[in-house]
Amino acid sequence: MDSKLKAVRAGHKSAVKRLLRKTEGDSNLDNEESAELLETLIQKQKIISALDEDIMNFLMEEDIEEDILNADDNTTDVETVDYMETYQKSAIEFRENKYIAKLPWKPDHEPLPTNFFVTKRRTENVIRKLSQDPKMLKVYGQIINDQERRGFIEKVKDPDISKGIVHYIPHHPVKKDSTTTPIRIVYDCSSTVIPVSES
């Protein structure tokens, strides 16, 4: 069996497309090769249908009903709804031609751990990667400077001087297909610190 037919039988999309293109116009594709291709596609369809049926049989109706009943456990509770309404009324304001919003802290949250070293390491990695493309590093620096100038972010003061626990928000670039802004900065507010186990 030639390698092209093996590729089709293995399900390689590009090989199937090439063979199907041959059937559209004048080609050297003979009837036997067309029949083998059609048979392979029919067999693959039967396998997929059988797998679909197996999956549906595996998911028993009771399991689905249980999932539906347990979905109520994931609904938003009244306390959260009340908090969000209060937040929208008291924590968002329009000042100096821009919206100012406080971070939506939960009322009785655990204190955030300090994450200075994690954030510092991630920032160093961003700078190291961007250093490979000086143009992107310059654009990234310009965006950071602009955000600082506009009061969106602030420079980290000497961490030894800061009193108490300080929690930082790490950031990283995301490349875009744009000539005016080839990258944007994403702040990772869900960054976590893995607790050190005492062993």
152: in domain: yes
Tell whether the model's pLDDT for residue 114 goes beyond 90: no
88 and 119 together in one domain:
no
pLDDT at 25 over 90: no
Average pLDDT of 74-80?
66
- Specify whether 181 is located in the same domain as 127: yes
**Is the domain of 183 the same as that of 128?**
yes
32 and 24 Cβ atoms separated by less than 8 Å: no
Higher pLDDT, 46 or 7: 46
Mean pLDDT of 58-74: 58
pLDDT digits 0-9 by tens, 87-111: 888 888 888 888 888 877 776 778 7
Give whole-number Cα distances, 155 to 152, 169, 192, in Å: 11, 12, 21
Same domain, 164 and 124: yes
DSSP character for 183?
E
pLDDT at residue number 173: 92
CA distance 7 to 13: 9
- Are residues 120 and 133 located together in one domain of the fold? yes
CB-side neighbour CA atoms (13 Å) of 107: 8
The SS3 of residue 93 is strand
Q: Tell me whether residue 87 is exposed, middle or buried, using C-beta atoms within 10 angstroms of its C-beta: 0 to 12, 13 to 18, 19 or more.
A: middle
Within a domain: 70:
no
12 occurs within a structural domain: yes
In a domain, 71, yes or no: no
Domain of 176, in residue numbers: 111-199
Identify whether 14 is part of a domain: yes
Model confidence pLDDT, tens digit, residues 42-56: 888 888 888 877 776
User: Is the pLDDT score of 197 beyond 60?
Assistant: no
pLDDT at 155: 85
The confidence band for 82, taking pLDDT boundaries of 50, 70 and 90, is: confident
Specify if 47 maps to a domain.
yes
In-domain check, residue 97: yes
Domain count, the chain: 3
15 compared with 149, residue with greater pLDDT: 149
Helices (H), the chain: 3-10, 13-24, 31-58, 61-70, 78-90, 116-130, 134-149
Spatial separation of the C-alpha atoms in residues 41 and 60, rounded to whole Å: 30
Residue 127's pLDDT is what? 93
Question: Do 130 and 178 belong together in one domain?
Answer: yes
| Domain match, 122 and 144 both | yes
Of 198 and 148, which is predicted with more confidence? 148
Among residues 193, 189, 191, 192, which one has the least CA distance to residue 103? 189
Q: Are 138 and 180 in a shared domain?
A: yes
Residue 179 falls within a domain, yes or no?
yes
Q: Assess whether 192 and 148 both reside in one domain.
A: yes
Neighbours of 8 (CB within 10 A): 23
Q: Is pTM beyond 0.75 here?
A: no
Q: Are 189 and 169 in contact (CB under 8 A)?
A: yes
| Whether residue 164 sits in one domain with residue 152 | yes
122 with 191, same domain? yes
Closest by CA position to 6, among listed 52, 40, 31, 55: 40
Q: Do residues 117 and 199 both lie within one domain?
A: yes
Q: What is the pLDDT of residue 76?
A: 62
Tens of pLDDT, residues 126-185: 999 999 999 999 999 999 999 999 888 888 777 666 666 778 889 999 988 887 888 999
The answer on pLDDT for 196 being more than 60 is no
